[in-house]
Amino acid sequence: MNWKKILIREWYQPQFNKAESMVSYYRNVVAYGESVGIETLSGRRKGTVLYAQTALEYWVEKQEKFRFKLEDNERRGK
């Protein structure tokens, strides 16, 4: 039993799931222009779609990184 493999998987899986849910959330915001609820100091909301696009890029990148690490982990275990 490879404990290291199990531990790494235990750590990455929830992170990956979070990244995946954030990607779908921000994709919806970009598509439908919903309010993200980012409060600025003046109390007004930021340019929602613009913010969501940058956030989406960030989470997509993170998701790819986690996916690669999970797959790499699977390959190493075999």
- In tens, the pLDDT along 8-39 reads 778 888 999 999 999 988 887 777 655 545 55
Please state the pTM of the whole predicted model: 0.67
**Among 76, 69, 62, which Cα is nearest to 11's?**
69
| Structural domain boundaries in the chain | 9-77
What average pLDDT is seen over the chain?
Answer: 76
| 62 pLDDT more than 90 | yes
Please give the pLDDT value at position 74.
Answer: 79
Burial (CB < 10 A; 0-12, 13-18, 19+), residue 19, is buried
